[in-house]
Structures are given as structure tokens and as C-alpha cells.
Structure 1
């Protein structure tokens, strides 16, 4: 039996819990992104739930991990560890505070031919009050090359693409190479929420058991979130969707009733209210100049099937599904839309990039989205501008096939704040300035965990944007915690970009094509140079798998593009597998009060543009003072070539107080 982890046990708010819980249960270990909360104080989303990692709980199962290798169950787990249960085994958590609801993040096997299975998970509190959750892998388990497939036996989706596993282009290979199937399995996890029916006390125990006879050969439990959910919100002076024919049992489609309630509310200048229940909606609800309130995202659930269209839509969609959409920007967009207090549950099981099957979409200016819970859509929120003054706050977005949120094209003066994101299939939060620049936007105090592909937070072009006070953990594949990228046809970076007071942990993944490790933060000049006023201040890069900071260009454009003048100040680097800074591009950066410890390789890996001129690297570093830890030695300045293309990786110790 694996006992609860020894060490500091932290409750909500960072207070230590000493002794034992009810009935002699071990005191709980509460974390944030699998870290002691004191290490990330003031950063990331302020959430209502307490996160407990399964590897810190009591179990007769097997702890798996740590492992940061892509395509493995522990690599996609929070903190890179989880607990694997055989039928009949359990994991038991001690509640750190009063709670009446839990969320379980888990994985169960796929069906042999793909498409997923279902399996029970028994939940008991203090050995009584048994409930059974129905777990599913129908929304997990993707395979193969982008944009991936649900078929584990599929041949290569792109037989003319470079395959790193064989270092070849299969279409040009005779005979074509055999690949191991399933090829590149990923996106293993999902999560379920459960109201317990009553409030339990701190110290009570919640046991999760994979019952004997389960169809699932194994059940992996990653973590448990426990929460005290308040009573449902009620609005008696509103256009209640029940009065317009909505069905709270979910048996009948309620889309038409929603439309009628919205039209009535617009005429009468009322809000729309959606009381507790599950409402079936299988298409977009178009919203403009309307406020829609639910009873709370645990109580009001709007759930829909993905529906195949008879013919492709003008935007290229071949499916529709549940979602609240502003009008298209080309039609003037929507304004004064306010959405709050409900859950959106989609039915998206494959990635089709042309499909508009997102939870929230379209263009919404002078609008707010607050307190939603969104899962199983393609992208939680995808906004196509131009649009302005949007506030996205206090939402939970999980289990997406692609991004959690993307400001796509011409979104200005908008804020994304205090949102919690977990298990996306692409960037967690992104600003993509395709065609028109995003400008004046802020991503502040958000938490992004375990994106299975790409980055936690990504900024592709734009002007005068800010990334601040965020917590980003455990990117899995071909991405970093934070990326500043001139790529995907984005407009150039102009004006300023401020990256301030963020914390990253266990970040920086292995880039398949380059076969190198990425930085926890990386700057990528692919389409053009990155020449804006960029300041990175106050960031903490903890337990970086490879480099903490990386500036890079593509080999094919290495002599065309540069990244000059990036300024780093008041940075803490605690643990790198390789270097503090890796430069693989022309340009320059300055460093002031950048403190580093537990560095695995040479402090600066300066390859420049790989031309290795006798005058030194094409990338230069400026020491502005206060850089402690010996990582920036005087002999490296300004541009000594210290290039080790693929240095050995040294696993750093766990982060600790500075």
C-alpha cells in the first residue's frame, strides 16, 4: 500500500494541515499544478476547488511515473504521475475542506478498434453513501499525425510527411516503412463531475474504486478536485426558457425554445434565465444584445450531439453542434452579450479544423462570458474578429480536441482572466493575429494544465498585448508553457509585448522534427523577424525539462530572420534539464537580475544561426547586472559560441522555496 506523501500538507489558502483526518485518515496534500501552493502564490486562477493528486493519496493500486515522454499515460498526468487501478483496487482521498462535489480526472482504455468504452467507478464517502460514476474513453484516445484519428489501426494520414521515427518521407521510400500501431497515441484523459448529495466535512474520506468485473482492464486516476458548491441561482424576473417550451430533462431538443426566449427577452428588455436541468441543444444559438444566466454551471447543463450537415456550410463546416455564437464579423458581429452560470457539453470526438463546433464562437464586442464550464467541444471559445472589449472570466474549460480559447484575427482591448484550463488538444490560450492584428489584449491570472499538443499560452503576432500572472504546467508535445511565435501567417509583432509574473512548471517538450528540447518560454521567428519591444519580467521557470528560455529560427530561414532586443528582468530559474538560455537564431537579449540554480548544462547554449563565424555567434547577450547563480559567466559575453546542439539532459530536483 502506498501511503500519503510525507511532507508539507497544504489546505486551501495555503494553510498547513497537521495530524490526521477523520478516523485516523492521513492529512490531505493539496496542490496547485502538483506544486506546493506557496510556490505559485498570486499566480494562476483563483478557483473554488482543492486539487489533490492521486499519487499523494492512499491506494492499493500502482503509482505510475514520473515520465515526460510523449505517448505515455504518466506524461499526460498532472505532475507527470498518477495511480493505476486494476479491477477491485482503490485510491482514497481525505477531504481538506467541506465539500459536496468532486471532479475526477481519469483514463480508461480505448476499445480495440477505437471509439472508446464505458466503465463504472464506485465512489464512497467514509465507507458509505455509495455512488457510481460512468467513465468513458469516447472523448479520449487520438492517434497518428495531425489532425489525428480515432482509429488505432489507421495507416499514416499523410504518407508524404517526414516521419521522425524512421527519418524518412514514406512516399519516397521503397518499400514504405512499417509503423508501430497504434501510431503516436495521445489525449488519454477525461474528467467527470459528481454532486455528492450532501456536504461532507474536512477529514472525511472519498474512496474511488474500480469495481471487480469492470470492462476496463485498468483505470488510471490522476487527481480529485473537491468543492463546496452553493445553492442554485434563481432569477424570477427574467424570460425563463421553461415558459417557451425548453425541456430540462434533456429528452427533447430545446434549441427552438432558447431562440424564442431570447427573442422575447430582447423585445421586453429582460434577461434570459435557464433553471437547473439538462437541456438538449444540437446547433448554434445565435446571441446578440442579450444576457443569458444559468443557475450555476453545476446545475444548468446545455448538452448536444455533433450533427453532420447535409452539405458543407459556407465556412467549410461539415458538422454543427451545441454552442453560443455571436454573429459573424462580416455581418457586423454581436454586441452586449452576457453569458454566465451554465455548462456546455459537446460531443466532439475528432478534429476537423473547418468545423465550427466550439462552445462559444463568432464575434462579440462589449460582452462578457463568466462562470461557464465547457468540455467536449472542439475549441472552448473561438473568436473571429474584428471585435473589441470582451471580458472572459472565471470559466473552466477542459477536455478539448483543440484550443481552450483563441483570439483569432482582430480582437482588441479584451481580457481573459481567472480561467482554469486543463487537457486541451492544442494551445490552451492563444492570440492568433491572422490577417488582422490582435491588439491591447491581456491574458491574466489563468491556469493552464496539461495541453497534450502545442503550448499553454501562445501569442502569434499582434500589437501591445500582455501575458501576466499565469500558471502553466505540463505541456506534453511540441510546445512550451509560453510561446511567442512569428508563424501560421500571423501579422508581425509591433508595439510592445509584456510577459510579466508568470510561473511555468515541468515545461518545455521534445520537438519531434528538430529532435531538440524546447524552452519553458520560446520565441520562434519562422515567418519573419520578431522586432517588437518585448519585455519578460518577474517570470519563474520551475523544473524545466530542457531549457528555461529559448530563442530559435527555422534552419531554412536562419539567415533571413532575427530576434533582437528581448529584455529579461527579475527572473527566477529553478531547475533546467539543460541550459538557462538556448539561442539558435540571430539577434540579442539583455538580462538583469536573472537568478538560476540547479542548471543541468552550460548556462548559455549559444549556437546563433549555426554559421559559426570567427567573430562569434550571431546572437549576443548583454549582462545588466544582478544575474546570480553563475549561469551567465563573463567569458560568454557578448557572443561566445557555446553551441552544444543536443546536450545531455540532467533531471533537476523538485522546485523549492527560493
Structure 2
């Protein structure tokens, strides 16, 4: 039933789940102030870049195809063999899951230490499930660099204890560690049919396919019990209905198969719960149903407590799945979607799930053949979809997307997309009321290589037909979007209008370009939308095609921080390229292009403008003077510089002699502040402030270092530039 879909329109947006037919310390990355968004999870995540160790931090980076750009928080730690990262355990735990990457074609292990004592067991690491090439998708590059590996520690650790992982025999980039106190294995339900009693092999050596089929047949109206163990299934199950499939817990009962259930229809009443299904899918083959569930579970079914990993899609749902509940699951490392309601679904509830590292949309509804109706995605946590959207709604009637947390979309996706992109016919466009409420989007939106400019954190897209449904977008938090916050677009380039949209009660913080990116004809109403640290301007209002009509923004009151409009529709604003007046509190140099007269080893110029003082630029040694130049993108009246070195006490106090020069064109430079000695002392944060005279306008900022009492080179951990004195 799967076949390839090629799309060649000028403005191809997110890959979309439909192509699968073609196809610091964080608690699951949620900001503490918005704990209501996202899932309630059994584990606590700790980012590698916030932990101790002797590896090399990479990122932050938003460039498509880079390792750091696919990491949680856009940062990770690279370990050479023998190097380690040491996590402080945030709460009592006896298990850990580590997200990692190794170079293509390599495998190895991570040694594990608990409070300094090396464990006998290791965490296996491999590139087998990474480096996916989807060359048939316009704009796609090799992606899907990370993977997950887990282990029971064999002992309890407490909050404050130390768990370290050490690269053994292979370079490993560590992204994040999830620490969990795993519940004891569940007991066998009374009256259940054990797959072992039907001949299943819990050692994983024998083929248990027929045993599972026999157990399902024998347990109609009852429960199939999957005891602790590893079971190998070599072909999919079908005819599954009116039965419960239950394991002892997802850390104990593990089924190894790339196709668990494949059936076009079912009478329903299926309950699947509390075990793991781990596949062997190493590439994306859209003609193959390499999914945990492919097709229908039938009405009034449920999937809960599952660990689903290394498959193409977690759940690709067609046919009758009315009133299905999918909750409390982990779906990891799929080469395409996490879950897709592929038409006809009514009353489906997908809630409190954790999804990481999908190769397409993490959660999607696609109204092919008939509309998805009255269904919802609620309180899910989604991290690192690496080719498309966190959540995508392609058509459907009366759909709800509520209280989800989405972070770190990459390449071809938004955090949330509400779209009339049909992919195939017969398609059912958006209708009724679409409710998008209480969602938090962190570092979402991406540069689309097909458009040559970005997609917003939250996108409403009249791709193939007008948006005529009522779209309510309420109580949204958008933080650190690399580009825009809200986008209204007709991505197919046909100029269809976006209508009947209201945005109420949104908080936008540190968006790279604009708050509203309007590229379609139509209208939207905004109320109580507040923004701070806006990169370029409040609004980019340039419908495409240029003669397709205007987009009207109605101010319903309570809006603040985004009143300006980008003035030039012939150019797309770059992150931080202010027009007309950027926020004076914003660091104009962050993320801007940087060059230098020389650099030492990995201490390159970009390290001085990456927003992290722990990474640094170091010039060529023993060759004063040396210069670092930052292109701010536009000319600004810069009034203050903040120069930083890494705050670690390992950096002894030093004085650097620095001259500040400026240029508006990058060729002729004038001295802004003559050579002065600036003291950097770890006791006071290793920071120096440089006041610039008023009236100085510069685009290119050049710092020339002629002496350094602590090291024979110029060194900056961070160079920050501000309009405010």
C-alpha cells in the first residue's frame, strides 16, 4: 500500500508524515514555568553539555545536516576514546537511557561508572540505525544521526550520585541521559495465556512467531501474557482483535521484530500494554510496512506503557481505529513518523507520550480517504524530529492539539503545522474547529532549503486549498525560535487564503527574526500576544505570489513588543538583522558570522559568538596582534561590548590589550576605542565591559588583541554587542 510520492513544487514545505505512505538539567526539556505542557514522564533528563567531563562540547548549531543541529538543545558532548561525561543523578534511579551518536560505519561501547566504580556491563553504541538518506524527498540531506541505548544499572542510585559514561574504542557524541526508577516486573494476570506455554523462546534464540499467533488465538476475550525475556518474531501478527497483549513492563518483556501487527481491519477491543518492541529498521523504505502497528486495531482499542524503537513508523493507522487511546508510551528512533492517523479516525486520543528522534512528523493526522474527526493530541512531549514537524495536522474536522511540548525541530519542519497539504486524493481539508491550545514550542522552526527562507515555530498552511476551518490558537509559549514564531503561508505557491484564524494569549521570547511571518492572503486576529527579544521586526507581511492579495493582521488588544514591520519584501530578514529598531537588550553578535586573522586548533572564531562563554576563540599563538571580526548584519549604534572568557576557575586572571574598530562596509575600519588593557578575573566572572562612544555606527565589529598576560594569544569566550549603554 506504500508508494513513493515525489513533490516538485517551487515552495515545498515540511516533508510531512504523509511521505511515510510514500513513504542545564531538564525534566524532559520542559521549562519549569510551563510544566503543564508536555507529558508526565517516568524519567528525568540531564543534558550532557550541563554535566562534568573532559569531552568537547559541540554546538549550538541550527545548520541542516550537522550533528549538533539534531541534538537536544542543539548541543552535545563529543568523547574521544577514554574521555567521559559525568552526570549528577537528579533523583533516585536504577536505570539510564543515553541518546548518542557515533561516526558512520562504526560501533563500540560506553563504559558506565557509578560513583567512580566501573560496572561490568557496558552500553552498546552503533551507527547501524543512523545516517538515513532520503534523497527522494526534496531538500532532504543525510540525517537521523542520534540513537538511544539503555541499561538497568543493577543498583539504586540517589539524587546527587554520579553516573559517568566513557567512550570505549570509538568516538561517541553524548546528547542527553534519562534517569529512571523502573517499577518491579509485573505479575502474570490470572487466567492469561503465556506465550511461553505456546512455545515462545524468552532467550531470543528461537523464532517465537507461531507461539505468539497461537497465544492470541487461544486468548480471545482474555489476555496474552509476555513474561520477562527477549522474544524474536520474524513476521507480523494479523487477525488481532478482542484480546489484551500484556508484558511485565517495557524494561523486562522485549519483542524483537520490525513488523509487529499488520492488518487492514479488526473488530477492535485490542489492548496492547507494558512491553517493548524493538526493530531492526536501518533505512526508510516507504513500500514496506516496517511498523509496530500497520493498519487497524479496530474500535475501542488502546496502546499504553510501550517502548517502541528502531522501526519505520510507530503506529501507521488506517481503517477503523475509532476511540483508540494511545497513552504513556515511548516512541524512539523511527526512520519516519512516530504516529500517523491516516484518515477515518474518530475520537482518537493520543496523550502523555514521549517521542524522540523521528525521521518525519512525530505525531500526524492525515485525512486521506475520509476525515480524521474529533481526535486529539494532548500532553505529549516531542524532542528532535529531524526531518519534519513535531505535530502536523493535514486536514480533518474538529481536531484538538493541546498542552504539548515540542522542541528542536530540524530542517523541514515547524513545531506545529496546521495544513491543507493533501499529498494524495481523496483528501479532506480542515473543517469545523481546529483547537491549538496551551502548547509550548522550544527552538522550533527551521530553514527550509526548498524555500531558501524559514518556516515558523507554528505554521498555518493553505498549501493546496484555502483554510476555511475556524482555527483557534490560544495560550501558546514560543521560546528561542531560530526564525519566526507564527507563520501563515500558502506553501504550494498557489496563493490560497488563510482565513478564520485567531491567536490569543501567546508569549514569544527570543525569536530570531519576526513574530508573525505572513506569506499568504487572508487574515488573522491577535490578542494578548506579547514578545520580547525580537530579532528583526515584529511582522514580515509579504504574501506569495506577490499579486495574490494581502494579509490583514487585526489587533484585538493586549499585544506588545512586536509593533514594527519588516520594510523590504525583496529580502528575508536574517536572525538578529534588526529593522527598524531591535531590542536594546538583545546581543547583536550572537550567532553572527565571525572571522579571525588566525585560530588555534578547534578554537575557531564562531566559538566567540555561539552564546556560550565556556567555548572560546583562541588566535594563532605567539603572533600578536590578532583580530576577531563579527558581521552584525546591519549597521547599529552599538553602545556597549561585553567580553567574556570561560568562567571556570581553571582560567587564571589575565589582562588583554584590546583595540575596538568598526566599519559599515567591511573594508574601511576606524578606531572606536583605542588600545586598553581589560582585566579578566574568574573571581568576578572573567568578564570585561567596554563602553563605546555615542553616535558610533558599525556593522562590522573588529577586536584587535595586541597583548595577553595569561597566554600568548588573543582569547574570547564570548563577544556580546548591545545598543543599550
From 478, 481, 491, the equivalent of 2:412 is 478
Secondary structure of 2:73's counterpart equals: helix
Please say if 1:387 is aligned against 2:387. Answer: no
From 525, 539, 544, the equivalent of 1:590 is 525
For residues 109 and 582 of structure 1, the distance between their equivalents in structure 2, rounded to whole angstroms, comes to 37
Per-residue CA distance 1:549-582 (angstroms, 9 max, x = gap): 0011146412xx1111210001111111111001
Q: 1:338-377 residue pairs with structure 2 within 5 A?
A: 338-364=271-297, 365-377=299-311
**Which residue number in structure 2 is paired with residue 627 of structure 1?**
559
From 456, 461, 470, the equivalent of 2:390 is 456
Please say if 1:534 is aligned against 2:471. Answer: yes
From 198, 204, 211, the equivalent of 1:244 is 198
Q: 1:70-469 residue pairs with structure 2 within 5 A?
A: 70-111=64-105, 117-130=106-119, 131-143=121-133, 145-146=135-136, 184-211=141-168, 214=169, 216=170, 218-237=171-190, 238-266=192-220, 269-286=221-238, 287-304=240-257, 321-325=258-262, 327-329=263-265, 333-364=266-297, 365-469=299-403
For residues 64 and 403 of structure 2, the distance between their equivalents in structure 1, rounded to whole angstroms, comes to 28
Larger Rg over CA atoms: 2
For residues 555 and 234 of structure 1, the distance between their equivalents in structure 2, rounded to whole angstroms, comes to 54
Point out where structure 1 has 5 or more consecutive residues left out of the alignment.
1-28, 112-116, 148-160, 165-182, 305-320
What displacement does 1:185 show?
Answer: 2.7
Using structure 2 for the length normalisation, give the TM-score. 0.74
For residues 236 and 599 of structure 1, the distance between their equivalents in structure 2, rounded to whole angstroms, comes to 56
For residues 379 and 302 of structure 1, the distance between their equivalents in structure 2, rounded to whole angstroms, comes to 16
Q: Is the 8 A contact 1:373 1:397 kept in 2?
A: yes
For residues 537 and 189 of structure 2, the distance between their equivalents in structure 1, rounded to whole angstroms, comes to 65
Residues 236, 648 of structure 1: alpha-carbon distance in 2 compared, 3 angstrom cutoff: closer
Please say if 1:581 is aligned against 2:535. Answer: no
**Which residue number in structure 2 is paired with residue 563 of structure 1?**
498
Per-residue CA distance 1:260-309 (angstroms, 9 max, x = gap): 1111111xx421111100000111122111011100000000002xxxxx
Per-residue CA distance 1:604-625 (angstroms, 9 max, x = gap): 1101244369xxx611111110
Q: Is the 8 A contact 2:344 2:367 kept in 1?
A: yes
Please say if 1:602 is aligned against 2:537. Answer: yes
For residues 352 and 152 of structure 2, the distance between their equivalents in structure 1, rounded to whole angstroms, comes to 23
From 575, 584, 596, the equivalent of 1:649 is 575
For residues 408 and 368 of structure 1, the distance between their equivalents in structure 2, rounded to whole angstroms, comes to 17
Q: Is the 8 A contact 2:419 2:430 kept in 1?
A: no
Secondary structure of 2:217's counterpart equals: helix
Q: When the two structures are aligned, how many residues end up with a matched partner?
A: 550
Point out where structure 2 has 5 or more consecutive residues left out of the alignment.
1-23, 578-585, 588-610, 612-725
**Which residue number in structure 1 is paired with residue 25 of structure 2?**
30
Q: CA RMSD in A?
A: 1.8
More deviation, 586-595/131-140:
131-140
For residues 199 and 415 of structure 1, the distance between their equivalents in structure 2, rounded to whole angstroms, comes to 35
Q: Is the 8 A contact 1:605 1:644 kept in 2?
A: no
For residues 245 and 400 of structure 1, the distance between their equivalents in structure 2, rounded to whole angstroms, comes to 30
Secondary structure of 2:32's counterpart equals: helix
Secondary structure of 2:196's counterpart equals: helix
What displacement does 1:99 show?
Answer: 0.7
More deviation, 497-506/230-239:
230-239
Using structure 1 for the length normalisation, give the TM-score. 0.81
**Which residue number in structure 2 is paired with residue 169 of structure 1?**
none
Secondary structure of 1:259's counterpart equals: helix
More deviation, 377-386/419-428:
377-386
For residues 392 and 644 of structure 1, the distance between their equivalents in structure 2, rounded to whole angstroms, comes to 46
What displacement does 1:632 show?
Answer: 3.2
For residues 174 and 284 of structure 2, the distance between their equivalents in structure 1, rounded to whole angstroms, comes to 25
For residues 610 and 572 of structure 1, the distance between their equivalents in structure 2, rounded to whole angstroms, comes to 30
For residues 439 and 337 of structure 1, the distance between their equivalents in structure 2, rounded to whole angstroms, comes to 21
